């Protein structure tokens, strides 16, 4: 295995069986893929398509029914690989009776980190995920998004080389989502490898270099995001200041060339963009409701 | 205390115990290895299977080396937090409540209140702590797996062994803390509740009949449902007699122009006697030397019996009898079990005699001293230094009877047709007393070891069973471990009514245990099933520690120092067992897909 391959699966298959060994679900079929160092890899697919199963197999939380999963060239069930990885589960499975500081300290101790390092690292991460105000509150009081944030901090306690994020943006508000995406991109800039799963295409599209699309446990598509998303036989036209006559003229030109017009409209900004600009405004000028239209 | 088993000296215990431990570990490891290989070979083929088993072992060794104290302590700390969160302290509250109400229902009238109180608090502590250890240890890991919180833990560089060990340590820490608290409270509870003094009934004071002229005798006012006889010296100091296991010192206090006599706190109530045992031999009814006396039935197996009004005798031989050790008298304490072959005069106690003899010079012996046997109670006897021979000559205990420090004490029964049952530990020299407080702590150490056993057993079962099932399994193991003797007896066929299947049939058919089952196919099948059942139960039981051996409550309660050997045996077998549980727990947790 070349040194810059972080994950390699060969014919990886998982069949969930019931207590009596009878087959229940074939959650993953013969998955072959590679994740290289420094890339952001997205696992896509509808609910129940096997994303979480794949991640758990890579972590050694599940044992493969057949095939192999290698992480850093070692078998996925080998505990020593965990020194270099971080994992954010689908839901934040943390100890509800601990507060944020205690949580990070506990996980830091599991990495055998000395007390001083743990303290510094915990403070840094709490600031990073924006939980400074709430760091002394027990996690059971946390909202879903706050729990997600502390889960993320927990996954980065050891400054891992490879981070597995199972639906990192679920439960987060749009700012949180944006922050996470920025964070993921920052991690990539630091040379880290990220594997994230999601069924929110927009998230994946924004950050991932390569994606794999799973459906009912089978790999449907694997490749670079830009090439996958480029639709070579469609053209998008956007212009400003066209009169109705000019528009009709362009329409006629397209029809003359046997094309059909899919859409020609005044483009609107996306809801996400709008929400973001409102929030940014209100942060810049606190205390007053942002009303962009009235200002004009 | 009436011992029913003799404690084994550590020296005799360690070698066989270690051998057994290694054997059991070897056999279990071999079984796991062969079983593991067969399963792996079946699933992956003989070669790949072998490779997997080999890698499993290699990584197991690696995991052991990589065991990090910091990680273990982090997991232990988590277990402590979890226990506190699960309100273990409520258990302590229950304990305090029990103590509070115990004052009402414990009988201060008892003629041995110290024993009653101590065994009560120790027993209550034992049950509470064991129950708590059971609940904590058994539900923790299954809950962690169910809540999936374990996912964030095992994806860190945590070895399965650390999860098992961390939990055992964490819950034991909680248990230790609770035990310490309960110990302190128990101690003060017992001491405070039994503490009392009496007033001397001044009107009852009269010159001591037969005493020197200025000694006086009288009695005290009743308190704690008893009163004492008092003897006062000329200067007003004195002491009371022993009632309900204690006595008081008396000091005069000038109060204006009258003198009051003030009694101190109870003395001699809390003891930790250190018995000095001898060797026991018997003589049969014709006076011939035998190694054992008569057997009067299975229930009485531990003791040998001597027949009254014959030459039958029990003879103890002691060493190290020197005036330096014993001073002016030899304190002995003895217990006999009385077996009446006819009722006789039931009001009259059976009488026996004691005689001291020089083992090196049979001719030198003391005159007999007659005692009245109270069945199964400890009878203290103070043997004075100056004794008389049967001929009326005065002899010295140390110089004439035990010039080399060796002494024989011979016991006989006087009443014809009645029997005395004795064992080696039934007559001993009370050489010295150890500290009661230390003994009390030693008693708690016995509870502590049991708490450790339950915790490790519970954690081990919880690595592969769900919480409630693990609890049942732990309870079953406790029951098996507490009734080892009985289970071996059932397996050997010495218990009426047969094994579990046969007993069940008898229960359903409402048949008495001594009724013969009708011969036939059913009976054969039932008996065969029992053979299988019992084979399984005995093999499981022989792997479990004998829980009875950890029970030292009786020692503390009856005022005997817990032999250091017993303590060592307890602690070492506890540690050995924890190691075994750790290994088994590791094995199961590693085999387990925690994300299922
Ligand atoms: N423990 C389990 N036992 C049995 N079947 C399971 C188990 N976990 C998952 N499955 C099944 O495996 C399939 C894949 O599940 P998985 O959780 O990997 O999906 P996913 O892609 O992560 O879905 P989502 O987007 O909802 O998180 C599903 O059909 C699911 O029902
Ligand atoms: Mg999922």
Domain borders along chain A are 5-230+269-295, 233-267
Determine the pLDDT at residue B398: 86
Of residues A67 and B302, more confidently modeled:
A67
Whether ligand 1 lies within 6 angstroms of the CB of A27 is answered as yes
Residue in B334, B345, B410, B341 with CA at minimum distance from that of residue B374: B334
Distance, CA of B437 to CA of B474 (rounded, Å): 32
Query: Does A62 sit within 8 Å of B593, measured CB to CB?
Result: yes
Binned at pLDDT 50, 70 and 90, residue A289 comes out as very low
- The CATH 2.60.120 domain(s) of chain B lie at 276-433
Mean pLDDT of B287-298: 79
Is residue B527's pLDDT more than 90? no
So what CATH class is A5-230+269-295? alpha beta
Of the pLDDT bands very low, low, confident and very high (cuts 50, 70, 90), residue A83 is very high
| Mean per-residue pLDDT of chain B | 85
Which of A56, A91, A110 lies at the smallest CB-CB distance from B153? Answer: A110
Residue A291 has pLDDT above 50, yes or no: no
> Is residue A287 scored above 50 in pLDDT?
no
**B498 vs B435, which has greater pLDDT?**
B435
Segment A32-74, tens digit of pLDDT: 999 999 999 998 877 888 899 999 999 999 999 889 999 998 8
State which residue of chain A sits closest to B160, comparing Cα positions: A79
Backbone angles phi, psi at A126, to 5 degrees: -65, -40
What is the mean pLDDT of the segment spanning B412-439? Answer: 88
Q: So what's the pLDDT on residue A192?
A: 92
DSSP H helices in B195-342 = 323-326
Contact: B71, A91; criterion CB under 8 Å: no
- Minimal Cβ distance to A112: which of B68, B75, B150: B68
Residues 6+ apart with CB under 8 A from A197: A42, A43, A44, A45, A51, A52, A54, A55, A165, A166, A167
pLDDT in tens, B340-362: 887 777 777 888 999 898 888 87
| Distance from the alpha carbon of residue A147 to the mean position of ligand 2, in angstroms | 17
pLDDT given at position A7: 93
pLDDT of residue A1: 53
Query: Which ligand has an atom closest to residue A23 CA?
Result: 1
Q: Which amino acid residue places its CA nearest to atom 18 of ligand 1? A: A50
Q: Check whether A200 has a pLDDT greater than 80.
A: no
As a whole number of angstroms, the distance between CA B34 and CA B336 comes to: 54
SS3 for B545? Answer: coil
pLDDT at A294 > cutoff 50: no
What does the alpha-carbon distance between residue A75 and residue A68 come to, in Å, rounded to a whole number? 8
> Sheet containing B337-340: which strands, arranged edge to edge?
B304-307, B418-422, B337-340
Chain A environment of B158 (Cβ under 8 Å): 79, 82, 110
Which atom from ligand 1 is nearest to the alpha carbon of B595? 1
User: Buried (b) or exposed (e) across A225-243, using 16+ Cβ within 10 A?
Assistant: beeeeeeeeeeeeeeeeee
Sheet strands (E) in B104-211 = 206-207
Find the chain B residues whose C-beta atoms sit closer than 8 A to any C-beta of A: 59, 62-63, 66, 68, 70-71, 73-75, 77-78, 81-82, 85, 147-159, 593-596
Would you state the pLDDT for residue A296?
32
Would the pLDDT of A290 be above 50?
A: no
* Whether residue A53 has its Cβ less than 6 Å from ligand 1: yes
Nearest to B155 among A63, A87, A98 (CB): A87
Query: Is the pTM higher than 0.90?
Result: no
Residues on chain A touching B79 (C-beta within 8 angstroms): none
The number of C-beta contacts closer than 8 angstroms across A and B is 79
Q: Which ligand is nearest to the CA of A45?
A: 1
| Class of domain B276-433 (CATH, top level) | mainly beta
């Amino acid at each position: 295995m070349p040194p810059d391959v972080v994950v390699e699966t060969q014919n990886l298959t998982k069949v969930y069986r019931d207590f009596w060994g009878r087959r229940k679900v074939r959650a993953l079929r013969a998955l072959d893929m590679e994740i290289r160092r420094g890339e952001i890899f997205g696992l896509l697919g509808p609910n129940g398509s096997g994303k979480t199963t794949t991640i758990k197999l890579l972590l050694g939380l599940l044992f493969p029914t057949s095939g192999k999963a290698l992480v850093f060239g070692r078998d996925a069930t080998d505990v020593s690989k965990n020194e270099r990885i971080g994992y954010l589960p689908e839901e934040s499975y943390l100890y509800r009776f601990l507060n944020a500081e205690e949580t990070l300290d506990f996980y830091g101790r599991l990495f055998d980190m000395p007390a001083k390092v743990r303290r510094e690292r915990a403070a840094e991460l709490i600031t990073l995920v924006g939980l400074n105000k709430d760091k002394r509150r027990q996690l059971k009081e946390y909202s879903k998004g706050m729990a997600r944030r502390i889960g993320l901090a927990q996954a980065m306690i050891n400054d891992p080389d490879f981070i597995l994020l199972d639906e990192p943006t679920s439960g987060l508000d749009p700012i949180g989502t944006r922050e996470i995406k920025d964070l993921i991109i920052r991690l990539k800039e630091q040379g880290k490898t990220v594997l994230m799963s999601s069924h929110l295409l927009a998230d994946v599209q924004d950050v991932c270099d390569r994606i794999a699309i799973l459906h009912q446990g089978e790999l449907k598509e694997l490749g670079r995001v830009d090439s996958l998303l480029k639709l070579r036989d469609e053209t998008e036209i956007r212009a400003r200041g066209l009169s109705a006559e000019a528009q009709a003229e362009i329409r006629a030109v397209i029809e003359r060339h046997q094309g059909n017009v899919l859409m020609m409209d005044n483009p609107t900004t996306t809801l996400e963009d709008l929400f973001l600009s409102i929030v940014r405004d209100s942060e810049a000028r606190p205390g007053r409701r942002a009303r962009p239209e009235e200002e004009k | 205390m009436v011992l029913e088993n003799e404690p084994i000296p550590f020296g005799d215990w360690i070698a066989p115990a270690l051998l057994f431990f290694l054997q059991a570990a070897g056999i279990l490891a071999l079984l796991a290895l062969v079983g593991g290989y067969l399963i792996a070979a079946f699933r992956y083929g003989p070669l790949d299977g072998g490779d997997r088993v080999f890698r499993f072992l290699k990584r197991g060794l690696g995991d052991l080396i990589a065991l990090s104290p910091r990680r273990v302590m982090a997991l232990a700390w988590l277990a402590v937090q979890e226990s506190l969160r699960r309100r273990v302290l409520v258990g302590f509250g229950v304990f305090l409540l029990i103590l509070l109400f115990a004052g009402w229902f414990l009988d201060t009238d008892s003629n041995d209140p110290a024993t009653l109180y101590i065994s009560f608090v120790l027993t209550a502590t034992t049950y509470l702590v064991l129950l708590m250890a059971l609940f904590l240890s058994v539900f923790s890991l299954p809950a962690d797996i169910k809540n999936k919180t374990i996912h964030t833990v095992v994806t860190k560089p945590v070895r399965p062994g650390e999860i098992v060990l961390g939990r055992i340590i964490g819950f034991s820490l909680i248990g230790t803390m609770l035990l310490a608290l309960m110990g302190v409270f128990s101690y003060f509870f017992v001491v405070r509740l039994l503490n009392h003094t009496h007033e001397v009934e001044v009107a009852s004071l009269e010159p001591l009949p037969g005493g020197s002229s200025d000694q006086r005798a009288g009695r005290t006012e009743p308190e704690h449902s008893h009163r004492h006889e008092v003897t006062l010296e000329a200067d007003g100091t004195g002491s009371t007699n022993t009632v309900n296991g204690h006595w008081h010192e008396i000091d005069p206090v000038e109060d204006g122009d009258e003198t009051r006599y003030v009694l101190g706190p109870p003395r001699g109530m809390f003891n930790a006697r250190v018995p000095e045992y001898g060797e026991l031999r018997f003589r049969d009814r014709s006076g011939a030397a035998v190694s054992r006396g008569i057997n009067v039935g299975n229930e009485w197996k531990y003791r040998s019996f001597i027949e009254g009004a014959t030459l039958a005798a029990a003879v103890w031989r002691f060493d190290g009898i020197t005036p330096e050790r014993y001073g002016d008298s030899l304190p002995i304490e003895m217990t006999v079990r009385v077996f009446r072959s006819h009722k006789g005069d039931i009001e009259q106690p059976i009488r026996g005699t004691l005689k001291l003899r020089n083992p090196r010079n049979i001719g030198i012996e003391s005159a007999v001293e007659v005692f009245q046997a109270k069945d199964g109670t400890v009878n203290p006897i103070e043997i004075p230094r100056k004794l008389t021979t049967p001929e009326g000559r005065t002899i010295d205990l140390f110089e004439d009877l035990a010039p080399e420090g060796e002494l024989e004490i011979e016991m006989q029964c006087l009443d014809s047709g009645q029997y005395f049952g004795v064992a080696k530990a039934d007559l001993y020299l009370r050489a010295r007393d150890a500290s009661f407080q230390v003994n009390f702590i030693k008693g708690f150490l016995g509870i502590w070891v049991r708490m450790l056993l339950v915790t490790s057993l519970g954690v081990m079962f919880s690595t592969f069973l769900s919480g409630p099932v693990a609890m049942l399994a732990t309870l079953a193991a406790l029951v098996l471990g507490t009734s080892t003797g009985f289970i071996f007896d059932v397996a050997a066929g010495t218990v009426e009514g047969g094994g579990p299947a046969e007993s069940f049939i008898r229960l359903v058919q409402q048949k008495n245990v001594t009724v013969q089952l009708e011969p036939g196919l059913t009976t054969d099948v039932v008996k065969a099933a029992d053979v299988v059942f019992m084979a399984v139960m005995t093999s499981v039981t022989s792997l479990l520690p004998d829980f009875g051996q950890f029970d030292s409550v009786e020692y503390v309660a009856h005022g005997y120092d817990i032999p250091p050997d017993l303590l060592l045996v307890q602690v070492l077998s506890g540690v050995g067992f924890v190691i075994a549980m750790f290994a088994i727990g590791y094995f199961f947790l590693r085999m387990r897909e925690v994300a299922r």
